[in-house]
């Protein structure tokens, strides 16, 4: 019979095996970008390790892969003094300045041959230093003022691409590794969408998001952020002879399990450095690089030459940051107007004097909300700096106060909706049971579906493919019908007659017949689609299905209490409040009643028969090629599975399409099985 001591010894041996194997897989996945096991196999290893450590907690060590978040929240940040200062870099903006940098180095070295440089992308993130002692991650700090930085040790440990323990045969007694913490663009966009859906203010850019995430006092919050890191150099290292050049240093730390940028190259002379710089800029502009970069860093490769060149007060003589051409421009705000969205949110939009940025004429830019207007202190008539955020969306980044004329006009918060004249108020949310807290400066029109702007948006949503799926009811059709007062709400769609449409320009007999057939066919629908079509704030496709599963009819849903709703999966307090508020509105209930009276028959789908996917829960993220997310959700539900909109421990599969965001990172963190589209297709086809 096995004794408890023998069992513990066996578990200790197995823990060591598992940790070694998982660390190796992390290295191949994050550093070499060459995984050798599937996500499912990796997940099984992590689950086994977690189970053993839960059974024998005395065997848990700080460097176990399960201990990415193990610290309690701090009250404040301590500071760490860098052994070697983390210097800033001098900038170069033109080819001539790069040539001058090269000439200056050759002159200082009394050299007449082309120098070999190491060149790499200049990532727009947060610089950090990570210290390993005897191979273990012992502390990490921000750059700070270059001499003293903030202690972010517990937060840096949440970054899964950074090893807690170094690998390899040649591990120094102590090594300081320097790098840049960043958030990939696709993850940043998804992360901001989730924040906005939760009623939180979006981050202005990936750098701010990365910096704010790494400076959280609670590392469990940092762990939820999609942070990543590239390491670009070494501070002090115990012993000598580890490497003779910067490129050798990067190759060496990569053998230790440290992630370095695969785009780093060695180049010879200023001409090759500039050619590399232009190639990087082209890659960034084409979207090949999925993180923010604002230039190229060029460093003398030979470390002995670096030491000979030395440093100035604040920057090394042997390196320069070559900046890309600006992706921003100056222009004048000619007006600020208000746009009203489907849910009644009022968005201030700046009308700009046309400015061309990277070949695109920019005439408008969203100002998001009144908080943003106040933060920028922007006025009509101001000269502003505009950039194309992510090379796509125009964004006002700053006001040039020195160019402010005397006749600028402040933009005042509207008291009534500019479309319908209804009262405007700030959207509020309830936190706790009694406290009411204003959720940012987000203005809302109180007119509901009586507001033409909200009415158009609501009808367009109602007729969309994921909702009632009425072909021929595009945005232009909705706008035309509403403006001609053919329809005032979604129920009026089912009152349309052939004679109503015959007199309209562009509507022929065939197109009219097709539209009326599509309207008639839409009456046979599912309860989930019908719930989604109503446009209840924060009720998406997945939440609508949760509600359809929980309630047998619209009457039952309309009578549900907030407490009953909050007990359902994927529904929080704010969503529950949105639902009860929606069904307590007399106008909404009247429209629903008319829809049902005109023959719309939302029926509850029969529970799928038990099968391969019964009991499984799926989340979809990114863009799928073969089908929409709604179609993919329907496929798995027909096989007995359920879908959800957010990632948590109850999720079985995350299906990741193109441009997957923070849901992907969170699924990785929770060891959820992640499927590519081909893997998903194979799964549902059996």
Q: What is the pLDDT of residues 467-511, one digit of tens each?
A: 888 888 877 888 888 888 888 888 999 998 888 888 787 788 888
Is the separation of the CB atoms in 142 and 153 below 8 Å?
no
Residue 328 and residue 387 in contact, taking contact as beta carbons nearer than 8 Å: yes
Per-residue model confidence (pLDDT) at position 474: 76
Q: Is 122 a catalytic residue?
A: yes
Torsion sign over Cα 450, 451, 452, 455:
negative
Where residue 431 falls among pLDDT bands split at 50, 70, 90? very low
Q: Which of 122, 186, 224, 395 is the catalytic position? A: 122
Q: What per-residue confidence (pLDDT) applies to 360? A: 66
Q: Is the pTM above the cut of 0.85? A: no
What CA dihedral angle connects 633, 638, 640 and 644, to 10 degrees? Answer: 10
Tell me how far apart the alpha carbons of residues 229 and 231 are, in angstroms, rounded to a whole number: 6
User: Is the confidence at residue 435, as pLDDT, over 70?
Assistant: no
SS3 225: coil
Q: Cα–Cα distance between 150 and 138 in angstroms, integer?
A: 14
Closest CA to 161 of 180, 134, 176: 180
Contact assessment for residue 454 and residue 418, using Cβ atoms and an 8 Å cutoff: no
Burial class of residue 432, CB neighbours in 10 A (0-12, 13-18, 19+): exposed
**Domains of the chain from N-terminus onward:** 4-59 (1.10.287.610), 81-323 (3.30.470.30), 328-410 (2.40.50.140), 447-522 (1.10.150.20), 617-685 (3.40.50.10190)
Q: Averaged over 602-615, what is the pLDDT? A: 71
Collect all residues with Cβ–Cβ distance below 8 Å to 155 and sequence separation of at least 6. 140, 213, 214, 215, 216, 219, 222
The larger pLDDT score, comparing residue 8 to residue 570, is at 8
Share of the chain above pLDDT 70, in %: 88
Q: Can you tell me the distance from the alpha carbon of 4 to that of 169, in angstroms, rounded to the nearest whole number?
A: 35
pLDDT of residue 157: 92
Q: Which helix (H) or strand (E) holds 260?
A: none
Range scoring the smallest mean pLDDT among 276-290, 589-603, 618-632: 618-632
Residue 69 has pLDDT above 80, yes or no: no
Average pLDDT score over the chain: 84
pLDDT of residue 70: 54
């Amino acid at each position: 019979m096995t004794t408890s001591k023998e069992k513990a010894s066996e578990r200790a041996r197995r823990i060591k095996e598992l940790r070694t194997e998982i660390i190796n897989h992390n290295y191949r996945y994050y550093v070499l970008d060459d995984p050798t096991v599937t996500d499912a196999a990796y997940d099984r290893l992590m689950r086994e390790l977690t189970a053993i450590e839960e059974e024998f907690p005395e065997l848990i060590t700080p460097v176990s892969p399960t201990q990415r978040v193990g610290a309690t929240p701090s009250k404040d940040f301590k500071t760490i003094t860098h052994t070697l200062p983390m210097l800033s870099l001098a900038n170069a903006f033109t080819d001539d300045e790069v040539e001058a940098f090269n000439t200056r180095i050759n002159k200082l070295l009394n050299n007449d041959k082309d120098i070999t440089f190491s060149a790499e992308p200049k990532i727009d993130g947060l610089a950090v230093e990570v210290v390993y002692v005897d191979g273990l991650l012992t502390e990490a700090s921000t750059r700070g003022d270059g001499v003293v930085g903030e202690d972010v040790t517990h937060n840096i440990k949440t970054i899964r691409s950074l090893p807690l323990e170094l690998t390899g045969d040649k591990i120094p007694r102590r090594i300081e590794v320097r790098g840049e913490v960043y958030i990939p663009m696709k993850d940043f966009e998804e992360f901001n969408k989730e924040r906005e859906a939760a009623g939180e203010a979006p981050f202005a850019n990936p750098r701010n998001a990365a910096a704010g995430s790494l400076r959280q006092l609670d590392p469990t919050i940092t762990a939820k952020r999609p942070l990543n890191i590239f390491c670009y150099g070494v501070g002090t290292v115990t012993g000598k002879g580890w490497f003779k050049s910067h490129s050798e240093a990067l190759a060496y730390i990569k053998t230790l399990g440290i992630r370095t940028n695969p785009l780093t190259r060695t180049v010879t002379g200023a001409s090759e450095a500039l050619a590399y710089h232009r190639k990087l800029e082209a890659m960034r502009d084409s979207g090949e690089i999925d993180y923010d970069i604002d230039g190229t860093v060029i460093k003398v490769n030979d470390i002995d030459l670096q030491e000979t060149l030395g440093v100035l007060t604040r920057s090394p003589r042997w390196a320069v940051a070559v900046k890309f051409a600006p992706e921003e421009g100056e222009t004048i705000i000619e007006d600020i107007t208000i746009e009203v969205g489907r849910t009644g949110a009022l968005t201030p939009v700046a009308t700009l004097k046309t400015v061309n940025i990277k070949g695109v004429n920019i005439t408008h830019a969203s100002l998001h909300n009144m908080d943003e207007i106040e933060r920028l202190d922007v006025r009509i008539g101001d000269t502003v700096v505009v950039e194309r955020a992510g090379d796509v969306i125009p964004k006002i980044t700053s006001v040039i106060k020195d160019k402010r004329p005397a006749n600028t006009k402040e933009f005042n918060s509207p008291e009534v909706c500019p479309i319908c004249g209804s009262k405007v108020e700030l959207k509020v949310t309830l936190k706790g049971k009694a406290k009411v807290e204003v959720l940012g400066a987000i203005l809302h029109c109180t007119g509901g579906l009586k507001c033409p702007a909200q009415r158009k948006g609501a009808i367009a949503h109602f007729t969309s493919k994921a909702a009632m799926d009425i072909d021929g009811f595009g945005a232009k059709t909705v706008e035309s019908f509403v403006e001609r007062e053919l329809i005032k709400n979604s129920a009026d769609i089912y009152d349309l007659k052939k004679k109503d449409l015959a007199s309209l320009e562009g509507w022929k007999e065939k197109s009219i017949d097709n539209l009326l057939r599509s309207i008639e066919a839409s009456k046979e629908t599912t309860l989930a689609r019908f719930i989604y079509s109503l446009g209840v704030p924060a009720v998406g496709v997945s939440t609508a299905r949760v509600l359809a599963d929980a309630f047998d009819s619209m009457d039952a849903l309309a009578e549900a209490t907030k407490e009953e709703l909050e007990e359902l999966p994927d529904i929080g307090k704010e969503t529950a409040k949105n639902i009860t508020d929606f069904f307590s509105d007399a106008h909404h209930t009247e429209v629903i009643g008319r829809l049902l009276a005109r023959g719309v028959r939302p029926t509850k789908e029969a529970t799928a028969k038990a099968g391969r996917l019964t009991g499984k829960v799926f989340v979809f993220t990114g863009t799928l090629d073969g089908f929409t997310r709604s179609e993919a959700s329907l496929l798995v539900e027909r096989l007995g599975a359920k879908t959800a909109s957010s990632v948590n421990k109850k999720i079985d599969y995350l299906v990741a399409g193109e441009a997957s965001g923070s849901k992907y990172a969170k699924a990785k963190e929770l060891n959820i099985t992640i499927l590519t589209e081909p893997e998903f297709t194979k799964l549902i086809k059996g």
